[in-house]
Structure 1
């Protein structure tokens, strides 16, 4: 049995009725590519069963320690029931995008049964009026508990359900079913007692690491990793959340996003996406007369998962906290600020904050960490100054144009979802597939009741960056043309003449 790490247990203890710690993704699937024109539900069920036989990770559930004195363990479920985890639903007609978003939001408002493997898949039929999809298509909503996986691991498990061909050989997969016997209470005590007895030594060792990394953090904050601002503003997003959610998604073209990087030398694709989101948040807050003078701060998870364990369960991530430039009106200045702050904070997240966070968790026994999370939840309702305003996470997606298929249906689009919780009422998940980058937005419905307006603000920010890119490219082209004309006047030669071009090549 594998025990939850402190960061995993944090998400487990953080669970409450108003903040289910669920991450998910929504797929749009084209049924017309499946053999026969449409996969039946029983075919989908068989398909998923075949694919899950390739890994045992989907069968893991939690086993509690005696009296909850220690963190839980992952255990293969000997009573695993696939049909419990696969739900078959239909959208009311006309089956448009709005109805699909409402269903997704309502589903993401609920948690899962932690006595079973903590994941669910919803097969959503009746998707008949969504742009870009033929009639009679379907969607797939897959959800995992955050204690089970982080964003990168959830996507790796998700891709285990895909194939490169619409033709599937039903029932012809190697069966790798591993079921463990449930341990007795005596056996669980035999595991828990040594853990409790060794806690003082582990606390001492973690305390030394914590002290060392705290000193390193203080030094870096005074030098190369100094914060861009010393205060995070309190916004309408930093309030206790309700159990209700709203959901929206927006898609951008990858080639256009890559062109936008030229606005700031050295800017990454992630910098561009964060800057677009910042521009959208700025527009939305300004529209509601709630834009603070200081920049909003985003928490951006940084994956530390090596390739050899990329499909394993659990969380291997750190975090960086960056001012995203919502105080800047000019989009290029905003992108430059995001790029600058990211460059400072990525090394800090990888080299300091990861060890600092882990050692802080290991210093305390699990029951004290559970109590600490409870106090943290209470503190988030007291109106204190927030540590950050939103979450923006980029999940590595699929590069290339090779189509992916689910039960024969082409996966046309996929949008991730990140949980919201007290003090963070809106989150953004980004994932690329084919030539598109999709941003899934999950929010508290009371805080963001007009999710369509929020999405429109993101689209307007994207157009703003696209216009800036086109203007920059046009300006560079004019400058290059003027430079050639000036050289021609100085040399008395046409810079584009065949003679001069030949001279350039021979030279």
Structure 2
């Protein structure tokens, strides 16, 4: 068995019927490249062969009432691919509106914790064309955040893909094994007993971080502060409903802007998000005088020696939405991001993981429920939204033999931050996934459709 880290387990403890903490990925597939032609049975059979080489997809949660530490992953001895891979047809005419409704409905349903925490939905009938006759297929994958972060999720997806349509499946890989309630409780007690030693080690790092942050604030060299975000329509408690929209951009256009202004790809992404949200709020006469603040997850996989599948830190970034000129805005965003990255790098890479390791399970759930009930999420937002940028492979990919034409990542939303925009670069495109609640933002397409014009605005500035 394999014990969850505190950070992994925190996504279990923080989950409520409204705050669902799974992540999704939407693939658009060209079935014409699938050897032997597309059938659902053939795709599911190919998936089963791939999953045999991916023990993470065959593991479920286990716990004991006497366990003092976090739950564990164990092999699901009753694993059945048919419980995880489902088939559905999009209603006629099968356009983006119909697809969006299906995606939102699936994303609104919690995962079954008695089974491995993932499922896939194969969606046929896109644009009214049968995939057996060359029509496209969409695949929505849903995985709990306790099992993946952005990097590990992309890694799992890469294992399901290949660079050739007829690539053979990898050899099967054994799982983590099993564990009974006594083993879980005994090993959990041992880990619980060693927590004070780890706590002592975390205190100096925390104190150094606090002192360094105070110095940076005084010198004007710190990232944006939490609770400095202005109020927007989506900064409220989330509901159990989800709506989803997406956009696809040319990665070469992104790089053209990047090279012209001498900034990073992530700066361009942030500038696009800023331009889209600025227009959205201006059109509704709701643009705050101060800038919106985004939380940007930062991978620490290459800096951390801690166990766990979530290896992330984060930084608060200014979107500079109060600046009208797009050139001034992207330059200001790049400057603010540079400062935020330096500040984020100065914070211990494992600090978040260490502190979540100590907290008792009840603390997470209780704190979140109190926060939601107090309505502080709307009165004083910690941040405005989550913006994440996940780099992907720049080569043609094939998913069970079908060429991947798009891969839209869909992250979670939280009480107080009911909007998530995640992007992934893939083989010359930048795929943008947007998720919120229809009660907070009824029409996400007004956001998605403005990403193209926002990029055109920056390209016009490039000339």
Q: Report the TM-score, using the length of structure 2 for normalisation.
A: 0.92
Given candidates 307, 316, 323, the residue that maps to 1:328 is 323
Given candidates 253, 258, 266, the residue that maps to 1:256 is 253
Contact 1:263 1:332 (8 Å CA) reproduced:
no
1:77 is aligned to 76
Aligned length: 458
1:501 is aligned to none
RMSD (Å), alpha carbons: 2.3
Contact 1:210 1:355 (8 Å CA) reproduced:
no
Within 1, Cα distance between the matches of 2:366 and 2:161?
A: 40
Within 2, Cα distance between the matches of 1:138 and 1:186?
A: 46
| Mapping 1:316-465, distance limit 5 Å | 316-352=311-347, 354-379=349-374, 381=376, 383-399=378-394, 402-465=395-458
Write out per-residue CA displacement over residues 354-404 of structure 1, whole angstroms, 9 at most, x where no aligned residue: 4442343244334434433443444555644112101100011112xx321
Q: Secondary structure in 2 aligned to 1:112? A: coil
Q: Which has the larger radius of gyration?
A: 1
1:485 is aligned to none
Contact 2:224 2:293 (8 Å CA) reproduced:
no
Contact 1:275 1:324 (8 Å CA) reproduced:
yes
**Structure 2 residue 310 is matched with structure 1 residue 315:** yes
| Mapping 1:62-461, distance limit 5 Å | 62-67=61-66, 69-128=68-127, 136-169=135-168, 173-178=170-175, 180-183=177-180, 185-223=181-219, 225-227=221-223, 231-265=228-262, 267-306=263-302, 314-352=309-347, 354-379=349-374, 381=376, 383-399=378-394, 402-461=395-454
Q: Report the TM-score, using the length of structure 1 for normalisation.
A: 0.85
Contact 1:203 1:364 (8 Å CA) reproduced:
no
**Structure 2 residue 28 is matched with structure 1 residue 28:** yes
Contact 1:56 1:177 (8 Å CA) reproduced:
yes
Write out per-residue CA displacement over residues 171-229 of structure 1, whole angstroms, 9 at most, x where no aligned residue: x752323362341x322221222233333333333333322322222223333633467
> Where do 5+ consecutive residues of structure 2 fail to align?
none
Write out per-residue CA displacement over residues 256-286 of structure 1, whole angstroms, 9 at most, x where no aligned residue: 1111124423x01110011011100000011
Contact 1:251 1:437 (8 Å CA) reproduced:
yes
Q: Secondary structure in 2 aligned to 1:280? A: helix
Within 1, Cα distance between the matches of 2:187 and 2:374?
A: 34
Q: CA deviation at 1:293?
A: 0.2
Within 2, Cα distance between the matches of 1:202 and 1:176?
A: 33
1:58 is aligned to 57
> Where do 5+ consecutive residues of structure 1 fail to align?
471-507
Within 1, Cα distance between the matches of 2:238 and 2:360?
A: 28
